[in-house]
Chain A
Amino acid sequence: DAGVTQSPTHLIKTRGQQVTLRCSPISGHKSVSWYQQVLGQGPQFIFQYYEKEERGRGNFPDRFSARQFPNYSSELNVNALLLGDSALYLCASSPQWGGTDTQYFGPGTRLTVL
């Protein structure tokens, strides 16, 4: 079975631009979460979506938004990019919503903001 997939793998943007990152969960998984990982640190939680509804949001500005589609895939949007948004953006999926399920991560999108 395919794991979590993300696109694109790498992206270079300039300050002020907007970016959309995409994620397809493991088949049968209904929950998608997004994390930001800055070099040398652990992943930081951005959003969780379950059944197309936002279930949790981390401490990120409103420039970050996301949505989940009927097929459970998800997009993360970041507006007005800053240099500090350069990071690895990870998507994770789990079967259900809540703390009892293991989250499985995709390979990530490496975003560089110049």
Chain B
Amino acid sequence: GQSLEQPSEVTAVEGAIVQINCTYQTSGFYGLSWYQQHDGGAPTFLSYNGLDGLEETGRFSSFLSRSDSYGYLLLQELQMKDSASYFCAVRGDYKLSFGAGTTVTVRA
């Protein structure tokens, strides 16, 4: 089976940098995905790491270390609209296995 751990909550001010860590235990691993979900909305795809290293997409970056079963999502230049839940998810053979999510609150 799969298990993923990520912090439950993070609070930061506008303009700050936030790092959300994710550790996982899994059988069958293609890579680590990150999704953003605003209250009542659909999970929106942010980033994917299939290989070790850093992937950068605008203000968001994601990192993966397969040997450490560890990844993180880095949110830079935080904006109020970044207040949301962020999920790491392991890609397996036919499904995504999600963590419980990290609620990010951005304060003015």
Chain A residues contacting B30 (CB-CB under 8 Å) are 98-100
Chain B residues contacting A102 (CB-CB under 8 Å) are 33, 45, 48
Q: Which one, B28, B42, B87, contacts A99 given CB within 8 A?
A: B28
Chain A residues contacting B93 (CB-CB under 8 Å) are 56, 98-99
Interface residues of A in 29-81 (CB under 8 A from B): 33, 35, 40-45, 48, 55-56, 58
Q: Is the CB of A90 within 8 A of B43?
A: yes
Bitwise interface map of B from 91 to 108 toward A, beta carbon under 8 Å scored 1, else 0:
111111111110000000
Q: Does B41 touch A at the CB level, under 8 Å?
A: yes
B interface residues, how many (CB within 8 angstroms) = 26
Interface residues of B in 13-49 (CB under 8 A from A): 28, 30-31, 33, 35, 41-45, 48
Q: Is the CB of B101 within 8 A of A108?
A: no
Q: Given A41-B101, A99-B30, do A104 and B95 touch, yes or no (CB 8 Å)?
A: no
20 contacts between A and B (CB under 8 A): A4-B42, A33-B96, A40-B100, A41-B101, A42-B99, A42-B101, A43-B43, A43-B98, A45-B97, A48-B94, A56-B94, A90-B42, A92-B96, A98-B94, A99-B28, A100-B30, A100-B50, A103-B96, A107-B41, A107-B42
Q: List 8 A-B pairs, minimum CB-CB distance, nearest first.
A: A42-B98, A99-B30, A56-B94, A45-B95, A99-B91, A105-B42, A105-B43, A48-B94
Residues of A bordering B, CB below 8 Å:
4, 33, 35, 40-45, 48, 55-56, 58, 90, 92, 97-100, 102-108
